[in-house]
Structure 1
């Protein structure tokens, strides 16, 4: 649905262009890790996707969850050196923006589903 689209490739490229934000992190005084914030932000955006698209079937919702699991795996691979580090304010802001881009990608793909 989403992970095999050109849009997803662009989002991953966007992340890799901003890896220095994660590699050179300082001033991270949070109790939350980078991965915890990624999971939280993605969860919030996917809940929004599902609540805004009430006509999604059970199978479509399951497909979305599988796609998010796949994305989380990709993100863990890309950010493997820093996923357990405390998250900084700048990282949190970037992760929020990144999760919104993923939501927009789902919105686009859902809009293109046959009705």
Structure 2
């Protein structure tokens, strides 16, 4: 589905090009870890996706959840030792943008 697509590969490439944003000590921190932000924002986007695509059957919904879990796992691998550091405002903005792009991938995969 999404994680096997060329668009996902390009999105991961975009993410890796911005890994320097996740170096410690680069900006004002907020009271959430990088892990918290990734999980929170991707979960929000997947819930929004389900709200917009109410007609999906249960099997498809489970496939989407599995794919979202795989995406979170990929991001956690890239950021392994940085996951528990306090996030910066800039990191939060990037994660919000990136999770929106992930939602767009799912939306594109399920265009009616």
Same fold, judged at TM 0.5 (above): yes
Unmatched segments (≥5 aa) in structure 2: none
Q: Using the alignment, how far apart are the partners of 1:18 and 1:26 within structure 2?
A: 13
Counterpart Cα distance in 1 of 2:72 and 2:78: 10
Q: 2:59 corresponds to which residue?
A: 59
Q: Does 1:17 align with 2:17?
A: yes
After superposition, residues 69-108 of structure 1 pair within 5 angstroms as: 69-108=69-108
Q: How does 1:39-58 map to 2 (within 5 A)?
A: 39-58=39-58
Structure 1: state its 5+ residue gaps: none
Q: Residues 39-81 of structure 1: CA distance to partner in whole angstroms, max 9, x if unpaired?
A: 1000110001000001100000000000011111101101112
Which has the larger strand fraction? Answer: 2
Number of equivalences = 112
Q: Give the aligned CA root-mean-square deviation in angstroms.
A: 1.2
Q: Could you list the runs of 4 or more consecutive aligned residues of structure 1 that deviate by over 6 angstroms after TM superposition?
A: none
Q: Secondary structure at the match of 2:32?
A: coil
Partners of 1:64 and 1:111 lie apart in 2 by 14
Q: CA deviation at 1:28?
A: 4.0
